[in-house]
Chain A
Amino acid sequence: MNLESMTVDTVKNAESTPEELQPYLELGLKDDEYQRIRQILGRRPTQSELAMYSIMWSEHCSYKSSKVHLRQFGEKAPPSDRMLAGMGENAGVIQINEKIAVTFKVESHNHPSFVEPYQGAATGVGGIVRDILAMGARPILVMDSLRFGAADHPDTQRVLPGVVAGVGGYGNCLGLPNVGGEVFFDECYQGNPLVNALSLGVLPVDGLQRKEADGPGNIVVLMGAKTGRDGIGGVSVLASATFDDESQQRRPSVQVGDPFTEKLLIESCLELYASKLIVGVQDLGGAGLTCALTETAASAGTGMDIQLEKVHLREASMEPHEILASESQERMLFIVEPAKLDAVLGIAQLWGVIATPIGTVTDTGRVRITFHGETVVDVPPGSLADDGPVYARPLREPADLILLQADRAETLPRPHHDFQLKDTLLKLAASPNLSDRSWVTEQYDRYVLGNTVLAQPEDSGIVRLDEETGLGVALSLDCNSRFARLDPYEGAKLALAEAYRNVAVTGAEPVAVTDCLNFGSPEDPAVMWQFAEAVRGIADGCQELGIPVTGGNVSFYNQTGAVAIHPTPVVGVLGVLENTAQRIPMGFGHTGDVLVLLGETGLELSGSEWAWVAHRHLGGRPPKVDFAREQAIAGFMQKAAETGLVGSAHDLSDGGLGQALVESVLRKGMGATVTLPVDIEPFVSLFSESAGRVLITVPVGHRQAFEQLLAEHELPATILGQVDDEGADLTVIGHGEAGRFTVSQAELREAFSGTLPRLFGSGEPGAAPAPAVETVTVVETVTVVETPAGVEVTETVLVEAEAPVALLAEGEPAGQPGEVAHADDEGRRTES
């Protein structure tokens, strides 16, 4: 290593050159923020210190615009004796029984996923998993909430397959089942796709890990991957600035994930926890070493002396500020008593993970970092971790909101005749937002770990925690951002209500909330108003439902130019199921079961999928939320699950009753006959998106007990019809002009299942639109070589006979693809 070639800016140097100009504006710091740094330090910051402040004081790390609003989650939170850790920790922790607790959180990785879809999404999964791990838990599942631009836009063709492969590639390789999530398309996400990943982990109640760097004299150990130039400046520049053409040039700074190393890291950490070998732990996330060092020291009120040259580097030429800012993945920081250091390093070695002591905890209250003996950082850690700037930014209702709300979808022309209703049903089922998600979810392993009880397309993911008792958790992630655009307060409440209901319909008891708040630029008062309204909506809703927000994530600057995405407050609800064997699935199961609609249907079409698909219309006010009704449904479903009174249940949301019928029929291939209520216009019955409704089936023999339970919970219910035989049609009987219509399952399946394969490739062997090469000719073979730097076409051009064997897949005239001809006895394979 050539130190001479590197001009390192030391504290000594900073003291002697107070006037040196520093690029704080380029790093995203404002004039007054820079002045405050000088004030705190009593001198100009060194280059490394400036990098650290710019990272820690960025919107992404400091929550400087959102903090004043997020306080409501704590202030309005109902008292919960289940919550062991909440806001401000890596993830909230909820007690499940006297022994077991779970920790869960959803986090965004939006901008990186636009720049490099595969790695952005993959490292998003890796990051949230490490958050869970840092709490002391074994991660046991993941979920993903994805939003893309228009489904048929060329850039969606690039982004979606990459994101899906990245979520799958990382999670599958870690051995974490993916049990649910969302995929949604809207033009507003064209340049700003949203990738929100959730993970949940299990830990013993007494196994909660702390992040405090306690005990002066203790050793600071960095474990995991080597540190490279991944995502340098990514946090303050990549993750917090609005996109423009420059993002093309920033590509090299994208982080690259290594799930195998993360798997080794998980196993090592769990062994360290179980052996009680560590004092504190923190994962290295967006702000890398900077955040991990300052947060652990600040939360303990201690200091640290760090020797930065001890950090294992991928590239020897890295400068101190690069090492401190690096977002290299798969790293954790531990605080270890000196006597236990050897044992810690031994466990790392067993799993083949690099672990390096890089410094010690001190009682100085300063984080001092040296690089080959020169002091490059000397800061009070609290000034970075806790005392960043806080802004109460101006709020203003968007100027167009009044007009938007006045433009109600309820006034749009809507069809009445039976053939039109059938057509609408099929069109909605085939729309990108309502169609079958198998193209996506088949790329995710949902079986691994052997505890998945329900996974997508069910309303909730359900995972068993205890094989003896069957105890388990249910989780759902939801948001309808169109509703949030029309009214962010009500829209956020609707997202909460839907996630709550999705958990409740399985029979689980909803107990806690996490959220991922995706918005445009907080510097735009209209966006800030949307944010404030959405936070208020979630906080009020949680207060009414009596369940706490335990943690979450804010992602601002999701906008291209002046145009922000729809406000997108994604809400995750966690439920507990005492016995997962009693869970209620969504598909119709038995011929003769009675179809019942719980809840009430109103004329609520604004923001609906029908308004968008049929009229490209977004306007009006979203459906009303009634949390008392949602609670009544939850209470009813829990009792129904315990007593086995309900055979299946499916939440009504996007696409209304019509879509719920399509999904419930196709799930297990059972037909149904439905008679729509006479006092409601048939179209409204089918396609209104009123909240607080569930479609359930009741075995005939349970009808009396069911009606009694219904009365106890004061729930309005309508008998709609019955489940028919396997393979039978879906028949809908209306009244007046609506008459009746019948749809075969083949028609339903073709509409529902064909859309995503048509848009993103069928994935069937031989079905790709390949250029037809029917005869063997002597052709040029371009040799493409995968190198660490990417795929590179070499100059080697070989001329050889090339049999395009894959194109034989369908015809199979002479053996199948993959069969290798013997060169020795058949010569060059020429048949085709």
Chain B
Amino acid sequence: MARVVVDVMLKPEILDPQGQAVANALPRLGVNDVASVRIGRRVEIDFAGDADLERAREIADKLLANPVIEDYEIRVVEAA
């Protein structure tokens, strides 16, 4: 099996209220040197055969990310 990881993140310009909530909580933990936190989604795709980056990109384009608000990055990793 070959694994492709797709990281989907809100575009930098889009407000990320979840990330902001985490950032706001950090001072309560005594962490004061973080300026910004953004939260995204990691999707692991296991191919039955070889990793197919093109196919993964197609999946990401059509389904995993909404290009209106999200960017994504794709990479092949060693499957566990």
Contact = CB atoms under 8 A, between A and B. Distances in A.
Interface string A769-798: 111010001011111111100010000000
B21 interface: yes
Given A779-B35, A784-B19, A771 B24 contact: yes
Contacts of A786: 39-42
A773 B35 contact: yes
B45 interface: no
Contact of B13 (A781, A787, A820): A820
Contacts of A785: 7, 39-42
Contacts of B2: none
A806 B17 contact: yes
Nearest to B19: A784
A782 B36 contact: yes
Contacts of A820: 11, 13-14, 69
B41 A782 contact: no
The residue in A773, A782, A791 that gathers the most chain B C-beta atoms within 10 A of its C-beta is: A782
Interface in B1-24: 7, 9, 11-17, 19-24
Given A771-B23, A771-B24, A782-B34, A791 B15 contact: no
Interface in A784-832: 784-787, 791, 800-806, 817-821, 823, 829
A783 B24 CA distance: 15
B9 A771 contact: no
B37 interface: yes
Contacts of B22: 784
Contact of B38 (A769, A783, A817, A823): A783
Query: How large, as a class, is the contact surface on chain B?
Result: 20 to 34
A768 interface: yes
Contacts of A823: 13
Q: Which 4 pairs of residues, A with B, have the shortest CB-CB distance?
A: A779-B35, A785-B42, A817-B15, A802-B36
A803 B13 contact: yes
Interface string B61-74: 00000000100000
B39 to A, nearest CB: 5
A306 B34 CA distance: 56
A829 B21 CA distance: 22
Given A780-B35, A787-B42, A770 B20 contact: yes
Given A800-B12, A820-B13, A820-B14, A770 B24 contact: yes
Contacts of B20: 768, 770, 806
Interface of B: 7, 9, 11-17, 19-24, 27, 34-42, 69
Given A768-B20, A770-B20, A771-B24, A806 B15 contact: yes
29 contacts: A768-B20, A769-B24, A770-B24, A773-B36, A777-B35, A779-B35, A780-B34, A781-B35, A781-B38, A783-B38, A784-B19, A784-B22, A784-B38, A784-B39, A785-B7, A785-B41, A786-B39, A786-B40, A791-B39, A800-B12, A802-B12, A805-B15, A817-B15, A819-B13, A820-B11, A820-B14, A820-B69, A829-B12, A829-B13
A758 to B, nearest CB: 16
A786 B35 CA distance: 20
Interface residues of A, number: 30
Contacts of B69: 820
Given A768-B21, A771-B23, A783-B9, A804 B36 contact: yes
B29 to A, nearest CB: 12
Contacts of A784: 19, 22, 37-40
Contact of A779 (B7, B14, B15, B36): B36
A818 B15 CA distance: 6
Contacts of B13: 803, 805, 819-821, 823, 829
B34 to A, nearest CB: 6
A773 B38 CA distance: 15
Nearest to A808: B15
B27 A771 contact: yes
Given A770-B24, A771-B24, A818 B38 contact: no
A771 B19 CA distance: 13
Contacts of A829: 12-13
Nearest to A792: B42
Contacts of A805: 13-15
A82 B28 CA distance: 55
A803 B23 CA distance: 14
Contacts of B11: 820
Contacts of B42: 785-787
A754 B39 CA distance: 31
A787 B11 CA distance: 19
A723 B40 CA distance: 54
A787 B13 CA distance: 23
A134 B6 CA distance: 41
A805 B14 CA distance: 8
B68 to A, nearest CB: 8
A401 B36 CA distance: 55
B19 to A, nearest CB: 7
A770 B37 CA distance: 12
A802 B15 CA distance: 11
Contacts of A802: 12, 35-36
Contacts of B36: 773, 779-782, 802, 804
The residue in B11, B20, B41 that gathers the most chain A C-beta atoms within 10 A of its C-beta is: B20
A677 B22 CA distance: 54
B44 to A, nearest CB: 8
Nearest to A793: B37
Nearest to B21: A768
Nearest to B36: A802
A818 B20 CA distance: 14
Nearest to B34: A782
Given A771-B23, A780-B35, 5 more contacts: A780-B36, A781-B36, A785-B40, A787-B42, A829-B12
A802 to B, nearest CB: 5
A500 B38 CA distance: 50
Contacts of A821: 13
B51 to A, nearest CB: 19
Contacts of B15: 805-806, 817-818
Contacts of A779: 35-36
Interface in A54-73: none
A802 B16 CA distance: 12
A773 B9 CA distance: 22
A380 to B, nearest CB: 44
A757 to B, nearest CB: 16
A769 B7 CA distance: 29
A783 B34 CA distance: 11
A351 B60 CA distance: 26
Nearest to B16: A806
A818 B14 contact: yes
Nearest to B22: A784
A784 B22 CA distance: 10
Contacts of B24: 768-771
A59 B27 CA distance: 43
Contacts of B23: 770-771
A499 to B, nearest CB: 37
